[in-house]
Each structure stands twice: as structure tokens, then as C-alpha cells.
């Protein structure tokens, strides 16, 4: 419906551009529904480490309007504090992927998020749906190749290896293998 109502929806390579983020909002009332003690992961030292409040996550689509770009909210949910069962072990990343799944997007998209959302669960969850994650990573971020055991090598004691060779992501950009220039529509 949004694609039909708003003609200025930004698309890159035929894909929509969705943005998402989470925020923790402090609340004074301890008896309010879904208010709980939340840990602030912020790098700012002006915020307290723990607050009582709500934890929201929201997803929006980017729209070109006039001479700027706006984020049109598609959905938002309180994701921490609402306890349906104590057996629910989903993380905020799992809940963000579920929130994206609730949108029922038939068209593929790029999901733009902050560094907090850069994790294996997000990457695998979006790739499984045929979408991509655009996120900033730290300069020392690494990736691992899957470990393939040699048939002639006997398996040793202990847990089997899961990771193969380490790849420093910064080295990919320095070698020029992935560098490609493109004009930004935003």
C-alpha cells in the first residue's frame, strides 16, 4: 500500500531501502506495563548504565520528498519488557528479523542499520529472506571461512572446529577487490 500511495519511495538496484533502529526510553512509573530495568549499550558516558523504561524497535522506508529524504515509519514494537513466557530466548536481533518479516514485503530490500545490528543472526536472517544488510563495522572486524576437515586428517579430541581461516574485512577494501564507486541517491 505504501508503494502505491507514495511515488517517491527510494529504490536502489530495484530494491527498497528500509532503515531500522532500536531505542530505550526511560519511564518514571515502575508499575507501567512493559517497563523493566534496561542496560544502555551506548558509548556515551553521559547516560546512566541502567534505566527503567521501554525498549522500542522500529522499521521505516525511505521516501524522496521535496529536496530531502524522509523515513516513513512502517512498524514499531516494544520488544523488551513484555513477557509472554519465560521460555522465550529470542534476542533483540531475532525480534528485529521477526519485525521485518511481519511487514510481508514481497519486494527485496536493503536494510540499513547501525553498528549494534551487525551480527551473524542479522546477516543470516536477511540473506535467508533474499535481502541485504548495510551497516557500519569496526575497523578491526573479522569474518571466518567455514572449516572443512581434510579427509586424511584424523579428528582430534574435544569439540569439532567450526571456524576456518580468519579474514580481516579491512584487508578486502585495501586490496581493491570490493571497492566499487557508485553515486548515492540519498
pLDDT above 70 (res 186): no
Residue 109: burial class (beta carbons within 10 Å; 0-12, 13-18, 19+): buried
Domain segments of the chain as ranges: 2-137
Partnered with residue 144 across adjacent β-strands are: 166
Model pLDDT, residue 110: 93
Q: Are 69 and 12 in contact (CB under 8 A)?
A: no
Q: Are strands 132-134 and 109-112 parallel, antiparallel or unpaired?
A: parallel
pLDDT digits (tens, 9 = 90+) for 127-183: 888 899 888 877 788 888 988 888 888 888 999 888 999 998 888 777 665 556 777
Q: Which has the higher per-residue pLDDT, 180 or 15?
A: 15
Q: How far apart are CA 126 and CA 124, in angstroms?
A: 6
Read off the pTM.
0.75
Amino acid at each position: 500500500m505504501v508503494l502505491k500511495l507514495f511515488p517517491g519511495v527510494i529504490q536502489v538496484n530495484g530494491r527498497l531501502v528500509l532503515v531500522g533502529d532500536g531505542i530505550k526510553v526511560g519511564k518514571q512509573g515502575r508499575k507501567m506495563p512493559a517497563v523493566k530495568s534496561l542496560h544502555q549499550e551506548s558509548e556515551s558516558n553521559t547516560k546512566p548504565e541502567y534505566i527503567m523504561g521501554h525498549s522500542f524497535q522500529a522499521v521505516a522506508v525511505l521516501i524522496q520528498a521535496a529536496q530531502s529524504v524522509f523515513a516513513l515509519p512502517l512498524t514499531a514494537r516494544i520488544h523488551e519488557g513484555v513477557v509472554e513466557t519465560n521460555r522465550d530466548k529470542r534476542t533483540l536481533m531475532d525480534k528485529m528479523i521477526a519485525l521485518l518479516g511481519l511487514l510481508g514485503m514481497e519486494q527485496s530490500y536493503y536494510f540499513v542499520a547501525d553498528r549494534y545490528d551487525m551480527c551473524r543472526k542479522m546477516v543470516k536472517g536477511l540473506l535467508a529472506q533474499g535481502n541485504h544488510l548495510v551497516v557500519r563495522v569496526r575497523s578491526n572486524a573479522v569474518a571466518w571461512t567455514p572449516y572443512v576437515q581434510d579427509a586424511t586428517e584424523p579428528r582430534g579430541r574435544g569439540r569439532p572446529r567450526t571456524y576456518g581461516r580468519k579474514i580481516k574485512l579491512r584487508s578486502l577494501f585495501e586490496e581493491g577487490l570490493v571497492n566499487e564507486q557508485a553515486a548515492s541517491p540519498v
